[in-house]
Every structure is written in structure tokens, then in C-alpha cells.
């Protein structure tokens, strides 16, 4: 069963799935984060993890409609979702908004802006959320000592490219919707959530903007 809510009450429906507690999450560090393995590879040792924590900033609690960055802003960091959900989108010259992606806990966004050094899209909070800010130049410095972390970032970039390629392929709307739901369910399953019956954090209009 698929449930899509179009009003602010959908956050009430999502609370049990995210387990969000703003006070505890903003005080959580990488070393004791329950979803650490989703955004940081296991081969990063404890000492290196502590070093990484020195650079990471936790931003939250953020609320629906808050922006983390805007299209055209200078790029300095990438971000990891600790709790809640984020959407990225672009507005073209005619004011038409196109959704680029949706991100759930443990996923990293902002990678598409590395080359241009300016954000190519905007990132908006879909529900109550907490995100981690990873300064990019410090991250690159740490990656020079941690090949496993560097490989992990490259895999994430590759995933973004594959997703964009599949999304731009000429398939019917029904096929793209089915693939979107399969992918969302797969990502939920990786986090230990039910992947056959779930509540989506985005509206029908947002899904249409993505497809």
C-alpha cells in the first residue's frame, strides 16, 4: 500500500519511522550515530573518525520549508541527512521548478556542485530534519589519508550520475513512477524499515515534479 499525504500532518505519520528526537540528534556525534555506516565507510578507524568530527557541524532542528542552500550560492560543503528528508530542485529561467532528488537519513547531497563551486540547485527540508555539514576542503584533506573514505565519496558520486541517467532516459511516466517507488523501498530496507508499505514524505505534486 502506498500512502501520500498532501498536508502538514504527514510529519505526524512519519515520526514513528524516523525516530526523530531533535535534542538528542543535534548532540549526536559520528562515533555514536546509529546510521554512521550509511554515510561513512566502516574502514574509517576511531581516531580518524574523531578527527572528522572536529570539522562536521550539525544543523538542526530544521523545519518544513527551511532551505539549507539556494541555487547559485557559493559551494563550500556537502551535507548528510541525519534525520528527516530533503529535496533538491532547480528553477529554470521561465520559473518552472524541477525536482532533482529526494534524500533520507544517511544520504549525502550537494555533490553536484563540486565542479562549478556554486550550488546548481536548492535544498529544501520536507519535514522536521537534522543535517550534518561537511566542509569540502577539509574533507578532501582527510580523504588524502583515508583511501576508503575517498572511494566511498566516489561511489556516491557515481550513484548520483546513474540515477540522473536513468531518470533522463525515455521511459513512460508509469515506468518512472514504478522505478522511483522500488528505489525508495530499497533505500528504506537498507535502514531496516518496511519496504512494501510506507508513507512518502513528499506530496503528489513534488513526485510529479521529479518524474
Instruction: Find where cell 537498507 sits.
Output: 190
Q: What is the pLDDT of residue 12?
A: 30
Distance of alpha carbon 107 from alpha carbon 121, whole angstroms? 17
Res. 164: pLDDT tops 70 = no
Written as nine digits, the cell of 87 is 529535496
3-state secondary structure of 199: strand
pLDDT band at 13 (very low <50, low <70, confident <90, very high): very low
Distance of alpha carbon 200 from alpha carbon 184, whole angstroms? 9
Distance of alpha carbon 41 from alpha carbon 33, whole angstroms? 13
Segment 165-208, tens digit of pLDDT:
556 556 677 888 888 899 899 889 988 888 888 889 999 999 98
Res. 24: pLDDT tops 80 = no
The mean-pLDDT minimum among 31-45, 53-67, 84-98 falls in 31-45
Higher pLDDT, 149 or 110: 110
User: What share of residues in the chain are helix, strand, coil (percent, to 5)?
Assistant: 40, 25, 35
pLDDT band at 86 (very low <50, low <70, confident <90, very high): very high
pLDDT band at 102 (very low <50, low <70, confident <90, very high): very high
Segment 127-157, tens digit of pLDDT:
999 998 988 888 787 777 777 777 777 777 7
Distance of alpha carbon 117 from alpha carbon 114, whole angstroms? 5
Q: How would you label 188-205 residue by residue, b for 16+ Cβ within 10 Å and e otherwise?
A: beebeeebeebbbbbeee
Q: What is the pLDDT of residue 95?
A: 81
How does DSSP classify residue 54? T
Distance of alpha carbon 139 from alpha carbon 52, whole angstroms? 8
The mean-pLDDT minimum among 3-7, 8-12, 116-120, 165-169 falls in 8-12
Amino acid at each position: 500500500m502506498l500512502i501520500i499525504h498532501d498536508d502538514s500532518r504527514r510529519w505526524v505519520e512519519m515520526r514513528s519511522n524516523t525516530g526523530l528526537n531533535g535534542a538528542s540528534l543535534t548532540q549526536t556525534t559520528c562515533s555514536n550515530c546509529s546510521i554512521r555506516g550509511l554515510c561513512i565507510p566502516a574502514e574509517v578507524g576511531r581516531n580518524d573518525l574523531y578527527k572528522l568530527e572536529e570539522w562536521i557541524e550539525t544543523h538542526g532542528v530544521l523545519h518544513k520549508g527551511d532551505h539549507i542552500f539556494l541555487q547559485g550560492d557559493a559551494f563550500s560543503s556537502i551535507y548528510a541527512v541525519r534525520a528527516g528528508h530533503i529535496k533538491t530542485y532547480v528553477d529554470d529561467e521561465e520559473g518552472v521548478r524541477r525536482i532533482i532528488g529526494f534524500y533520507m537519513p544517511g544520504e549525502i547531497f550537494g555533490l553536484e556542485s563540486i565542479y562549478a563551486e556554486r550550488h546548481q540547485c536548492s535544498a529544501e527540508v520536507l519535514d522536521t530534519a537534522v543535517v550534518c555539514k561537511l566542509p569540502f576542503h577539509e574533507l578532501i584533506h582527510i580523504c588524502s589519508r583515508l583511501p576508503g573514505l575517498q572511494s566511498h565519496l566516489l561511489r556516491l558520486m557515481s550513484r548520483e550520475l546513474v540515477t540522473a541517467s536513468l531518470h533522463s532516459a525515455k521511459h513512460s511516466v508509469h515506468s518512472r513512477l514504478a522505478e522511483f517507488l522500488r528505489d525508495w523501498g530499497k533505500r528504506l530496507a537498507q535502514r531496516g524499515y518496511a519496504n512494501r508499505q510506507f508513507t512518502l514524505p513528499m506530496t503528489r505534486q513534488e513526485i510529479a515534479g521529479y518524474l
